[in-house]
Each structure stands twice: as C-alpha cells, then as structure tokens.
Amino acid sequence: MNKAKPRPLSTLSLIVLHETRILVRDRTLPLVCCVLALMVGYGLFVGLSQATLRDRMVDQVLKHEQETQAANASTLRTVLAGKTALIPFSNPANPAAMAGTLSGRYATMANAPLAALAIGQSDMMPNYYRISYMSKVQFMYDTEIENPWNLLSGHFDLAFVIVFVLPLLVTTLSYNLLSAEREHGTLRMLCSQPLSMATLLSGKIIVRALALMAVVIPLPLIVLLLIHPGARGTEQLVLMLSWSALVAAYVLFWFAVAALINAIGLSSSTNALIMVATWTFFVLILPVTMNLVVGLISPAPSRTELASRTRVATAESLREFEDLYSADYRYASDPEALLVKDERIEVPSRMRAFFLSKQKVDEQVEPVLKRFDEQLLQQQKLVDRLSLLSPAILVNEALTSIAGTDARRFLAFKDQTEAFHNTWRQYFSPRILESRAMTLEDLSSLPRWHWIEMQASETRWIVWWRTALMLVLASAIGGLALARSSRGSAGF
C-alpha cells in the first residue's frame, strides 16, 4: 500500500515548527527580538518626548495669548475711562500698537495624534508663529530652508528603527537560510525527503518574519492606545492599520531580498556581504545621491538673495516714509494727544510709518518668497518621483505622513499662516490709516486663527499606494527567489 504524499501545507507547518524550536534553543531569535523591542521602545520614547515638548510649547503659547488678550481688555477699559497713563506703544486703544507688539495672536499647529511614530520635519519646522504686522520675512523665513530629506538621519526615533535598523536585523536572521544547511551537510538530506526547496525557504522566512513583526508592529500601537486618548479615534485606528501594513510590507521586502540572495547558492559569508551591501545602497547611498540630485535639479532658495532683496526693500521704504519716521514725538510733551476722542485716536507718525513700511517690504519681496515656495514644492515633487527608486525613502515618507510630521503638513501650515497674516493686516489697515480707536467690541472681533487639517483621504492615499508598491516589489522578488530555489539554483 503506497504512503500518501504529505500535503505542502502540513510540510510547511512542520518546517515552521522545527525552525522555531531551533531558533529558540540557540537563542538567536529571542536575542534579536529583545534587541528590537528595546530599540522600538527607546525610539517611541524619543518620539513621545518630542511630541510632548511641542504640545507644551503650543499650550504655553495659547495660555500666553489668553492672558495677553485679557490684559489688553482690562487696560483698554481703564484707558477709555481715563484712569491709565497713556503710553503710545502699550496703549490697546491704538490700532497700530494692537496690530504689533500688543496683539499676542499666534498661529499654531497641534501635533497629530500619531506624532510619536516619527519625528520627521518637526525638529526643524516651527509649529507656531507670532502674528503681527511685521514683514513675513521677519517671522516666517528666519530659519534655514532645507531639502525635505536633509533630516533623514536626524533623531533616533521609531521611524529610524524601522527604516535603518530593521533591515539589518533581517540580515542577521536570514543571511544563511540555505547556505548554513548546505555547509552543515544537511541540505542534501532534507532535499531527499518529499520537500521542495521553495517550501523549506518559505518556512524559514515565515518564522523570522512573524517574530520581527510581532515585536515591531503591535508594541508601539499598544503603547499609544494606552497612554494617548487622541489615538483612539476612528481615523487614527485606520492610520494605525495603514502603518501596520506598511511596516509589514517593508519587512517582507527585505526578507524577499534575503530569499533571493540565498537562492543563488553562495556561501554564508558571501550572502552576508551582499545583503549588507544591498542595505548600504538602498538605505544610505541612494537617499544621499537622490538628495544631491534634487539639490542640483531644484536647488534650495538662496538666503543671500532674500536677505539682499529685503535690505533693498527696507531701504526704499525708509526713504518713502522718511517724513513720517522723522516726525517729532508730540505726545511726549502733550499726552492729551493720545486720548480717545469721538472714537478717534492719533496714531503716532512713527508707528504709522512702521506699519506701512512693513507692508511695502512684503510687496517688494513677495516675488522672491513665491519663488521660495515654488522651489520647495518642486523639491517635494522630485522626492515623490525619485522615492520609487529607494524603498527606504518610500517608507520614510509614508511613516512621516501617518505621524503628521511630513513636509506637506508643515507647508500647509505655512500657507495658512500667510493667509491669516494677510487677514490680520487687512483688519487693522483701515483702523490705522483712518485713526480709528480700538473698542472692546473690536478686541472681541479680532481675527482668530483656525488650523485646517489636511484631508485624511490624502494621507491614506500617500500611505496605501506606497504600501501596495512595497508589496508588489516584495512579491516580485520573493517569487523570483522561490522560482530559482525550485529549479535547484541554491546548490548543494
């Protein structure tokens, strides 16, 4: 009576169980998983620390804004009642003072609920701006403008662990999947059984991939769900699912690369060198090269040009409003000139000139600033196109999108701040030019900042098409590896 041939599924399960026992007994897999858990925990701790710090900054800014507005209202009541000494630069009845130093208005961008998953651009880009009638150059372009990938090797965070460290751990576990069996003389014996090389290779990879994914995927998500109530919303749960799928696809990609290298039939040491070289090329060399390419094709805006243009515009505005700047301080000898009369107030000439000159400066440098924004947008588009060549860039862009620390979100914040800045000026411009005194009703009707979050569907699209591409790459490379191993390419 002929024995029934073992079914492939049962054979695969036997390989998985046997490989699990071996890896647990020689402590390789537990050690790697412990190292990964420690790095994931530390990376998440750094991300949580940075997110908490930025949350505190926003809270302090909003608290200061509330206190300033309350103080302005209190002072204005006493000024209108004639009970306070009048000082032009701290008089809330003066619209020029309110538009400038007294305003206390801020444009703020709160952290996304999953910000701890990736620091991204948040360690360089501001998440709040103080709004006044000052020129945009003075409060929005006073930091270095960098290429979106200059922070790729920044803080040690969870995204760094996933993009940089995880492939090295895959290499540690999988460089000798078949070569070790061949070098120990057990590969011929295994292949003499009703066992295909593809099944053997698949079983070994399944154990290692599931072990790594069981550590790197649920651990940070469980921590966030436990300590961050904002991460429990429906949209955040969908993003967490997207994050899990993305990380799983990245892990499978690197195991597929390992399978293909093992299927060639080289020695363990050669396999290790090839995998390390592959990691170096995709994770280090290619991103740096792409950064240089982006810089050459769309160079970062010139700080020198902006500074020179600003100085020229400032000098021209000083000449244009020279008469107002040189006006005497009449209110120093005649404080009565600062009194509110028939809802009118004398705006000191120097303050009026300052307001008008800052508007003039912005008008002069607006073409340069627009070119700055266009170049930054062009850089981001180039990164999106070139990221197809590098799995590391592909995944890192998606991780920062999920965390809300990507360049797109900060550019959206900058655009909304510019719009609010223009609204702020438009509100005060007629009051300053017509010398209309501020009232309590005016204080309550000051323009208010409202951050409009990016569309969730846009973020999901950014993540899912990258995840799908990673899965396609992993499937193609894995299929090629299984085909080679089935033809006996791994050698004996």
When pLDDT is averaged across residues 196-202 and rounded to a whole number, the result is 84
* Poorest-pLDDT segment among 7-16, 36-45, 97-106, 141-150: 141-150
The pLDDT, as a whole number, for residue 321 is: 75
105: β partners: 131
Tokens of 429: 């411009």
Backbone angles phi, psi at 436, to 5 degrees: -90, 125
Tokens of 211: 């072990």
Listed ranges 19-33, 34-48, 277-291, 413-427; the one with the highest mean pLDDT: 34-48
Q: What is the torsional sign of CA 74, 79, 85, 90?
A: positive
When pLDDT is averaged across residues 209-227 and rounded to a whole number, the result is 94
Q: Is the pLDDT of residue 278 over 90?
A: yes
The pLDDT, as a whole number, for residue 145 is: 42
- With helix as H, strand as E and coil as C, how does 354-408 read? HHHHHHHHHHHHHHHHHHHHHHHHHHHHHHHHHHHHCHHHHHHHHHHHHHCCCHH
Residues 365/371/377/379 CA torsion (nearest 10 deg): -120
When pLDDT is averaged across residues 204-210 and rounded to a whole number, the result is 93
Q: Is the pLDDT of residue 261 over 90?
A: yes
Tokens of 54: 């930025």
Tokens of 306: 């902006």
Q: Is the pLDDT of residue 8 over 60?
A: no
| DSSP state letter for 164 | I
**At how many degrees (to 10) do helices 197-216 and 166-174 cross?**
150
Angle at 105 between CA 104 and CA 108, to 5 degrees: 130
pTM score: 0.84
Q: Is the pLDDT of residue 149 over 70?
A: no
Contact (Cβ atoms closer than 8 angstroms) between residue 191 and residue 197: yes
DSSP states along 169-187: HHHHHHTTTTHHHHHTT-H
Check residues 36 and 288 and name the one with the higher pLDDT: 36
The pLDDT, as a whole number, for residue 476 is: 95
When pLDDT is averaged across residues 278-298 and rounded to a whole number, the result is 85
Between CA 338 and CA 409 the distance in angstroms is 44
* Poorest-pLDDT segment among 5-14, 170-179, 212-221, 312-321: 5-14
Between CA 392 and CA 279 the distance in angstroms is 9
Nearest to 132 by CA among 167, 162, 163, 105: 105
Q: Is the pLDDT of residue 1 over 50?
A: no
Contact (Cβ atoms closer than 8 angstroms) between residue 361 and residue 319: no
Listed ranges 306-310, 402-406, 437-441; the one with the highest mean pLDDT: 402-406
The pLDDT, as a whole number, for residue 191 is: 67
How many CB atoms are closer than 10 A to CB 108?
Answer: 18
When pLDDT is averaged across residues 358-386 and rounded to a whole number, the result is 78
- Pick left, alpha or beta for residue 342 (phi over 0 → left; psi -120 to 50 → alpha; otherwise beta): left
Q: Is the pLDDT of residue 368 over 80?
A: no
pLDDT band at 469 (very low <50, low <70, confident <90, very high): very high
Nearest to 111 by CA among 40, 46, 57, 44: 57
The pLDDT, as a whole number, for residue 151 is: 43
pLDDT band at 303 (very low <50, low <70, confident <90, very high): low
Q: Is the pLDDT of residue 152 over 50?
A: no
Contact (Cβ atoms closer than 8 angstroms) between residue 283 and residue 275: no
How many CB atoms are closer than 10 A to CB 24?
Answer: 13
How many CB atoms are closer than 10 A to CB 255?
Answer: 25
Angle at 463 between CA 419 and CA 237, to 5 degrees: 90
Tokens of 189: 């014996």
Q: Is the pLDDT of residue 209 over 70?
A: yes
| DSSP state letter for 162 | I
Between CA 160 and CA 153 the distance in angstroms is 8
Backbone angles phi, psi at 307, to 5 degrees: -65, -40
When pLDDT is averaged across residues 311-336 and rounded to a whole number, the result is 70
Nearest to 35 by CA among 172, 231, 174, 210: 172
DSSP states along 267-311: -HHHHHHHHHHHHIIIIIIHHHHHHHHHHHHSPPPPHHHHHHHHH
Q: What is the torsional sign of CA 35, 39, 42, 48?
A: negative
pLDDT band at 355 (very low <50, low <70, confident <90, very high): confident
Listed ranges 244-248, 338-342, 447-451, 487-491; the one with the highest mean pLDDT: 244-248
Q: Is the pLDDT of residue 380 over 90?
A: no
DSSP states along 418-434: HHHHHHHHHHHHHHHHT
Q: Is the pLDDT of residue 480 over 50?
A: yes
pLDDT band at 327 (very low <50, low <70, confident <90, very high): low
Check residues 319 and 431 and name the one with the higher pLDDT: 431
> Which H/E stretch holds residue 233?
none
When pLDDT is averaged across residues 337-366 and rounded to a whole number, the result is 78
Q: Is the pLDDT of residue 4 over 60?
A: no
When pLDDT is averaged across residues 80-93 and rounded to a whole number, the result is 71
Backbone angles phi, psi at 449, to 5 degrees: -80, 135
pLDDT in tens, 44-81: 999 999 999 999 999 999 999 888 888 888 888 887 77
Distances (CA, A) of 181 to 28, 36, 322, 481, 492: 16, 26, 86, 17, 9
